[in-house]
Amino acid sequence: MALPRLGILISGTGSNMKSIVAACESGEVPAEVAIVVSNRGDAPGIQWADDHGLECLVLSHREYATREDHDRAITERLRDARVEWVCLAGYMRLLSAVFVDAFPNRILNIHPALLPSFAGLHGQQQAWEYGVKISGCTVHLVDLELDHGPIVVQRAVPVLADDDGTRLAERILVEEHIAYPEALKALLTRPWRLDGRRVLFG
- Residues annotated as catalytic are 111
Residues between 117 and 136 that touch ligand GAR (CB under 6 A): 123
Residue 90 touching ligand GAR (CB under 6 A): yes
CA angle 126, 131, 136 (to 5 degrees): 60
Segment contacting ligand GAR (CB under 6 A): 28-36, 54-62, 70-78, 105-113? Answer: 105-113
Residues between 33 and 72 that touch ligand GAR (CB under 6 A): 45
Among residues 30, 115, 14, 34, the alpha carbon closest in space to that of 123 is found at: 115
User: Cα separation of 108 and 143, whole Å?
Assistant: 9
**Shortest distance in whole angstroms from residue 48 CB to ligand GAR:** 10
Q: Out of 46, 49, 106, 112, which residue is the one contacting ligand GAR (CB under 6 A)? A: 112
The answer to whether 29 and 184 are in contact (CB under 8 A) is yes
User: Cα separation of 176 and 156, whole Å?
Assistant: 10
**Which residues would be at the binding site for ligand GAR (CB under 6 A)?**
10, 12-16, 45, 89-90, 110-112, 123, 147, 173, 176
